[in-house]
Copies of this chain bind each other. A is one copy, B any other.
Amino acid sequence: MNWIVNENGFDPQRIAMNGNKFMIGNGALGVRGTLEEFGKEELTATIIAGLYDKVGNQWREPVNAPNGLMTKLHWNGTALSVLEAKSGKVELPQHEQLLDIRHAVHRRKSVFSTTDGAQVTVSSERWCSAARPQLIVQRFTLQSSLDGELVINTGIDGEVWDINGPHLERLVSDVNPETDSNRTTDILTLTGWTHELNVPVTTAAALEGSGLPEGYEEQVELQREGHSISRTIRLNISAETPYTWVKYVSVAAGATGDRQVEPSSAQAAVSSICEAQQLGYDRLYQEHAEQWERKWSASDIVIEGDEEAQLALRYSMYQLHIIAPDRSEKVSIPARGLSGQVYKGAVFWDTEMFMLPFFLYTRPEVARNLMMYRVHTLDGARRKAAEYGFEGAFYAWESQETGDDACTLFNVNDVFTGRPMRTFFRDKQVHISADVACGIWQYYVFTGDESILLDGGAEVVWECAKFFYSYAYYNPFKQRYEILDVTGPDEYHERVGNNAFTNRMVKETLRIAIDVMELLHKQDSSKYDRLLTGSSIQPEHIWEMHDGLYVPQPDPASGIIEQFDRYHTLEDVALPELKARMLNPHEYLGGGNGLATTTQILKQADVVLMLHLYKDEYAPAIKQANWEFYEPRTEHGSSLSSCIYALVAADIGSPDWAYPYFLKTATIDLTGESKQYVGDLYIGGTHPAANGGAWMAAVLGFAGLRYDGVKASLKPALPSAWHAVEFPVRLREGGYRVRVGREDILICAEADNTGDARFVIGEQELVVAPGRQVSLSI
């Protein structure tokens, strides 16, 4: 069964990479796949979703909680640490790190050979409870070939990886070692307060030593040093006997400005531990595993005939599930998930464009949370529009909890001078407001859930349309509206005019705005009136701009759609030649003086992304011509690029063109093969957009699934190796399981569906009633 991701042996070069690859999480917490003996140098992190902090003038970024998993073992005075295996003090004949993605459990097993001839086997597992947002459970088993002394040091390490931190001030514990030296069964806590908003963050930890020798409690010594608090347990253990202990770790954040001696975060963390202690390991695991079975039941895809793709695709979905905000509509998914503080833990267009479809088709309640996050951050987008002198809502390129833009004007350093480089991500990627508006509309069309519009979604869409109206210009000579001075998805070309993707997205936003306002007029006319009162921008202006807006069209001769005004005048250099010009491997190819800036080389799909989104509007020959034109000019410098080329290749019936792009996307976090630096900026971590892109390529691409709220359609184009692909999908009428084979298609409806669903395949239309199974030869 293809549910296991593992690596054998220990390679210190892979510490950072494996920290990403072996991540666990539950949407509220993300725990990097580091080993228990690791510290901040090895990038330990327990990222709290939606909690940000700023230190001095550095970038705002997510808060990394004190590490409650920290455990250091010594056998007869020798540290049982993979890090010591390098030094020759101890050998490591066997080491495995493993992720069971079915239930999101991280495991490690290390066999240490010590100089006194003992073989000590250390196994651990851990999981972030899918049922309890604050809880992480860890279990250790140790067995030695000889009798000897085991020293366990376990507790909470306040020194953790920070890019622009440390973020927690005044780390305090409510345990005082001098008076409470033997409180072995008690719960340890470590609480710090964020710099900017004074939010308390507590990590609590409790040990359950029922698998340790009796009377071990007498051997416990409490330690409070520097930034950590821990217990040290000295035990004489017997050969060949397994010793087991469990640790409950809880991470909680309190309210802004909470400066009580016993802050709310400590109370919450301790109470979470108490509940866990009462339930015990097995019942906790059971509720956790049930949650995971539910997630997979809603989403798992079975690929017949391609084991590599199978694991990679499942792993991609795993990565999305561990970071899905299924409990809150006030957080969304950052570009690097919860794998660290890279990209400021910020939410980008990645969410709407690359992750939303996965959740929409499998877990629409998560999709709703993602889009409601944009409703809750509308004021931030309004502030940004006003800052630049525009109306409406200009959504943040890098959005955190308030929706204000975390993106700086100098977002990359010049490798040659070390100076900050002016970039225009923040100012000019106006398509973000269109991405948001279209995302909300997509959710509404898919689910029919009008409430998102009435709960603020309509206002978001309208404010985005107003923004574009105030941003746009009319060209009196050409008699058309234009969108000038923007950066499209291809960030190597900043400040361009009439980016095809942007203009098309804006046009869509204007149309949606009209539709949404009509709906609002009917359903909530007082809100409708409130949105229009006092504004010089009225629906008729939006109509006029919609009708007059220029969208670059295919050249009649070549079929090529020019990415932006005068793109064709740029140097047409081959990608290898461009790369040969690089003087520094990390130099940024975009920006004012970037090597790609003055050439036709793109960072990522741009026109081709538009052809994916608006596939109905372009003939296959146009799509093919543009794919063939732009692909060799695309660096794929972004993890968002390959999946789009896969999608469009599948759409034009060339799945074997698509396949390598699909596989590159699906394996990105398994291989770790992605750009790690831009300038001197570290950009490593997980790639949820690629994870979502892998799902899109498989389901929307190879199976060719689409749904417009009324009918679904399938247009299969399976890669050569695939015999079939089978996946669940949730439509308005309920759940369906679809199997697309090379010769037939099978659709099974769940019994409790609320009505018949229509599936269109080629010329055929299938109506699938609740509980029924329908098949069709193709």
What are the residues of chain B within 8 A of A469 when measuring CB–CB? 476-477
Beta-carbon contact of B422 and A598 below 8 Å? yes
Beta-carbon contact of B593 and A414 below 8 Å? yes
In the complex, A470 has a CB within 8 A of chain B: yes
Cα distance, A473 to B471, chains bound together (Å) = 12
Cα distance, A597 to B475, chains bound together (Å) = 28
Which B residue's beta carbon lies closest to that of A427?
Answer: B566
Beta-carbon contact of B536 and A477 below 8 Å? yes
In the complex, A541 has a CB within 8 A of chain B: yes
> Quick one: which of B410, B417, B593 contacts A591, CB cutoff 8 A?
B593
In the complex, A391 has a CB within 8 A of chain B: yes
Within 8 A of B (CB), among A475-498: 475-477, 481-482, 484-485, 495, 497
Which B residue's beta carbon lies closest to that of A587?
Answer: B417
**CB proximity of A287 to chain B, nearest CB, Å:** 53
Beta-carbon contact of B545 and A476 below 8 Å? yes
In the complex, A146 has a CB within 8 A of chain B: no
**CB proximity of A363 to chain B, nearest CB, Å:** 40
What are the residues of chain B within 8 A of A477 when measuring CB–CB? 391, 469-470, 472, 536-537
In the complex, A559 has a CB within 8 A of chain B: no
Which B residue's beta carbon lies closest to that of A474?
Answer: B474
In the complex, A583 has a CB within 8 A of chain B: yes
Which B residue's beta carbon lies closest to that of A390?
Answer: B477
* Contact pattern, A 410-431, Cβ under 8 Å of B = 1, otherwise 0: 1000101101011000000000
Cα distance, A157 to B541, chains bound together (Å) = 72
What are the residues of chain B within 8 A of A472 when measuring CB–CB? 476-477
What are the residues of chain B within 8 A of A592 when measuring CB–CB? 422, 591-593, 597
Within 8 A of B (CB), among A384-413: 388-389, 391, 409-410
What are the residues of chain B within 8 A of A597 when measuring CB–CB? 422, 592
Which B residue's beta carbon lies closest to that of A418?
Answer: B583
What are the residues of chain B within 8 A of A417 when measuring CB–CB? 416, 583, 593
Cα distance, A389 to B591, chains bound together (Å) = 25
Which B residue's beta carbon lies closest to that of A545?
Answer: B476
**CB proximity of A567 to chain B, nearest CB, Å:** 13
Beta-carbon contact of A482 and B476 below 8 Å? no
What are the residues of chain B within 8 A of A391 when measuring CB–CB? 477
Cα distance, A286 to B410, chains bound together (Å) = 66
Cα distance, A391 to B597, chains bound together (Å) = 27
Beta-carbon contact of B422 and A593 below 8 Å? yes
Which B residue's beta carbon lies closest to that of A479?
Answer: B536
**CB proximity of A496 to chain B, nearest CB, Å:** 10
What are the residues of chain B within 8 A of A476 when measuring CB–CB? 469, 472-474, 481, 541, 545
**CB proximity of A67 to chain B, nearest CB, Å:** 39
What are the residues of chain B within 8 A of A389 when measuring CB–CB? 566
What are the residues of chain B within 8 A of A470 when measuring CB–CB? 477
> Quick one: which of B419, B497, B541 contacts A593, CB cutoff 8 A?
B419
Beta-carbon contact of A484 and B482 below 8 Å? no
**CB proximity of A471 to chain B, nearest CB, Å:** 8
Between A470, A473, A495, the greatest number of chain B beta carbons within 10 A of the residue's beta carbon is seen for A473
**CB proximity of A319 to chain B, nearest CB, Å:** 36
Within 8 A of B (CB), among A482-534: 482, 484-485, 495, 497
Cα distance, A113 to B36, chains bound together (Å) = 89
What are the residues of chain B within 8 A of A583 when measuring CB–CB? 417
What are the residues of chain B within 8 A of A598 when measuring CB–CB? 409-410, 422
**CB proximity of A564 to chain B, nearest CB, Å:** 13
Which B residue's beta carbon lies closest to that of A565?
Answer: B389
**CB proximity of A645 to chain B, nearest CB, Å:** 28
Cα distance, A583 to B388, chains bound together (Å) = 32
> Quick one: which of B473, B495, B541 contacts A495, CB cutoff 8 A?
B495
* Contact pattern, A 327-365, Cβ under 8 Å of B = 1, otherwise 0: 000000000000000000000000000000000000000
Cα distance, A391 to B422, chains bound together (Å) = 33
What are the residues of chain B within 8 A of A473 when measuring CB–CB? 473-476, 482, 484
**CB proximity of A746 to chain B, nearest CB, Å:** 54
What are the residues of chain B within 8 A of A409 when measuring CB–CB? 598
Which B residue's beta carbon lies closest to that of A409?
Answer: B598
* Contact pattern, A 525-554, Cβ under 8 Å of B = 1, otherwise 0: 000000000001100010001000000000
Cα distance, A495 to B427, chains bound together (Å) = 14
Cα distance, A473 to B410, chains bound together (Å) = 29
What are the residues of chain B within 8 A of A541 when measuring CB–CB? 476
Known: A391-B477, A469-B477. 4 other contacts (CB 8 A): A473-B474, A474-B476, A477-B536, A593-B593
Task: Please list the 6 inter-chain residue pairs (A to B) with the smallest Cβ-Cβ separation, ordered nearest first.
Answer: A592-B592, A473-B473, A474-B474, A416-B416, A470-B477, A592-B593
Would you mind naming 25 contact pairs between A and B with Cβ atoms under 8 Å apart? Answer: A388-B566, A409-B598, A410-B598, A416-B417, A417-B593, A419-B593, A421-B593, A422-B592, A422-B598, A472-B476, A473-B474, A473-B475, A473-B476, A473-B484, A474-B476, A476-B481, A476-B541, A477-B536, A477-B537, A484-B484, A484-B485, A485-B485, A495-B495, A591-B592, A592-B593
